Structure 1
Amino acid sequence: MTITSAVAPSPTTQDRRPRRGRQDRSSQQRREAIALVFPSLVPIVIFSVLPLLQGVWYAFTDATLRRNDTADFVGVDNFTRLAGDSFFWSSFRIGLIWAVSVTLLQLVASLGLALLLNSDLRFRSLTRLLALIPWAMPPVVVAIMWTMIYTPNGGPLNAALGAVGLPSGINWLGDFNTALPAVIVVGVWIGMPQTTVTLLAGLQQIPTELSEAAAVDGASAWQRFRNVTLPSLRPIVVSITSLNFIWNFNSFGLVYVMTEGGPGGKTMLPMLFTYLEAFKNRNIGYAAAMGVVLVIVVVLILAGFLRTQFRKETA
């Protein structure tokens, strides 16, 4: 009797061809992904990365806007000068007050408005549309409109105050004590719509069963809001607060049109101070150093804030 034995092919020989095919497909997918992403990366590199690198380079030079001027490397002289510039650090303090105040007030006001729009409100669609009006208006138009509202003689705000017997004739944008609070109110008003829309979308993603179960257990409206709604909105609140802080700290046009940093520098935000240094005093190198410092400080503040929030979530 003849016995034949079959020798199975080596596993390496069996898997070599399929594995090579998977590698080829993976390489092709990477090439296709690069080909699709590359067109969108080109404008980012040209209009964002290259100007950023150029700005960092200017921070170490004495570049100006004067004709036929040459930018010479001066090392850290601009940063040394900036460290002793009390006007810049005063504007930085005002910028922090502005950014923190506007961001927090936007969050509180937008959350209240989002809760209202998420309820069974009559004419809810019309109300949502009206809530977006500040977002649809250009910042320059908003600044001009609110400047007219704040007009000391004949402005609607002072007229309304006088009609109810309150002090009127206040120069809201010209008084040292009221200028910054006045522009903060405008900053909150113009930034509310985008925060409201974001929070409203988050509220609509919360299952209604959670609130209903809490209500069945005897939880009050405040307890349901604190224990159900807020924890569910926490990731959205952290994200939108971080973005709003960056936008508000870097804001420029609104305050420039309304006050130009006055009176007496009481509304001189750091970005406005940097703009004036660059295009009024024509010190591009020194202004670039200000921009580098502002970017570093904002990144550090946001990193600390996000680290604290993530630590609370993991605790």
Structure 2
Amino acid sequence: MTLIKARATSKRPKGSPSHRGKNRDAWLLVLPALIPVVIFSVYPLVQGILLGFTDAKAGLNATTSVNGLDNYIKLLSYELFWKSFRIGMIWAVSVTVLQFLASLGLATLLNLDIKMRWLARTLVLVPWAMPPVIIAIMWRLMLNPTYGPINDMLSSVGLPGEINWLGNFATALPAVIVVAVWAGMPQTTIVLLAGLQSVSTELHEAASIDGAGAWKRFIHVTLPALKPVIIAITTLDLIWNFNSFALVFVLTAGGPGGETMLPMLFAYNEAFRYGNFGLASAMGNVMVIVIAFFLFFYLRSQMRESK
């Protein structure tokens, strides 16, 4: 009887004073974490969105007025912006796909029972521990056309060894893509490795008994089990790569001739080199819409997987 009364009293209606008190206490606990997010993330985002509908320019005495959709109409005929957008999409898709393929191969290797596996897994994290600026400086030295070790290695095997990797129109974007793939592999590899370790060994044993070889087990057992992980990490990688700035800024600053001018670099130049804050904010708003588009499909796929 006492137990029944305890259970009855523990189930409070949602509108009861005790339930409201619990909600208030929960918000008080979450509030310290929400305040920095609102100040440093939400508020600047809202300000940037609103700035995209103005003619704001740099200058102490510059006046700012609302110009509606003028910035977005200008973007429709801004050929350089669309070129940067096209380069940004090529960059983001190429880096994401190559990162995934290279990381999947590396994660599969690290999942095997090999000697010194712990050391290999530690070394994989080295690029992740390095700031993007340091990575860019290091690769600029390696790709230097005069004294870079990469050209020296090419010369030692009889290949052309005086290639200006970051200054040539044909090689600048591929070279920067390779650097970005190397820099972004660690997190993708670790996520895929965690996914591989969660795949049931019983499924592999059953497939092996049925006569499936290593390749067939990988295609029909491993990849289907990794599908949720693959969707999650490739979507996040695509968003991160589309928003890349520091790595490319230090490597090429968008050159040569705008061949590596990503949208973030273009918006940066428009704001801080030419002082067109309103137009640069409008560019940022367009990129937010693109990222929201990616997030929509990612969240929809996650909801389907959870059903």
TM over 0.5: yes
- Cα distance in 2, alignment partners of residues 286 and 165 from structure 1: 50
- Cα distance in 2, alignment partners of residues 242 and 283 from structure 1: 31
2:3 corresponds in structure 1 to none
> In structure 2, which of residues 183, 192, 197 is the aligned counterpart of residue 204 of structure 1?
197
Structure 1, unpaired ranges of 5+: 1-14
> In structure 1, which of residues 54, 62, 65 is the aligned counterpart of residue 58 of structure 2?
65
- Cα distance in 2, alignment partners of residues 148 and 179 from structure 1: 14
* Contact map agreement 2:166 2:256 (CA 8 A) in 1: yes
- Cα distance in 2, alignment partners of residues 138 and 78 from structure 1: 34
* Correspondence 1:82 to 2:75: yes
1:119 corresponds in structure 2 to 112
> In structure 2, which of residues 71, 87, 92 is the aligned counterpart of residue 99 of structure 1?
92
CA drift of 1:133 comes to 0.6
* Contact map agreement 2:12 2:19 (CA 8 A) in 1: no
- Cα distance in 2, alignment partners of residues 20 and 259 from structure 1: 62
Q: Which has the larger radius of gyration?
A: 1
Structure 2, unpaired ranges of 5+: 1-6
SS in 2 for 1:129: helix
Per-residue Cα deviation, 1:29-73 (whole angstroms, up to 9, x for no partner): 322221111111111111111111111111111111211322111
Going from structure 1 to structure 2, the CA distance change for 1:98 and 1:20 (only over 3 Å counts) comes to: closer
- Cα distance in 2, alignment partners of residues 249 and 124 from structure 1: 33
CA drift of 1:25 comes to 4.3
- Cα distance in 1, alignment partners of residues 137 and 9 from structure 2: 70
* Contact map agreement 2:53 2:70 (CA 8 A) in 1: yes
Per-residue Cα deviation, 1:229-284 (whole angstroms, up to 9, x for no partner): 11111101111111111100000000000101000000000000000101110111
CA drift of 1:122 comes to 0.7
Q: Which range moved further: 190-199 or 209-218?
A: 209-218
TM-score (norm: length of structure 1): 0.90
TM-score (norm: length of structure 2): 0.92
Letter in 2 for 1:294: M
> In structure 2, which of residues 160, 171, 176 is the aligned counterpart of residue 167 of structure 1?
160
Length, aligned pairs only: 300
1:295 corresponds in structure 2 to 288
Q: Residues 236-247 of structure 1 correspond to what in structure 2 (within 5 A)?
A: 236-247=229-240
- Cα distance in 2, alignment partners of residues 310 and 58 from structure 1: 33
* Contact map agreement 2:235 2:294 (CA 8 A) in 1: no
Letter in 2 for 1:138: P
- Cα distance in 1, alignment partners of residues 241 and 140 from structure 2: 19
1:143 corresponds in structure 2 to 136
- Cα distance in 2, alignment partners of residues 57 and 37 from structure 1: 28
Going from structure 1 to structure 2, the CA distance change for 1:225 and 1:20 (only over 3 Å counts) comes to: closer
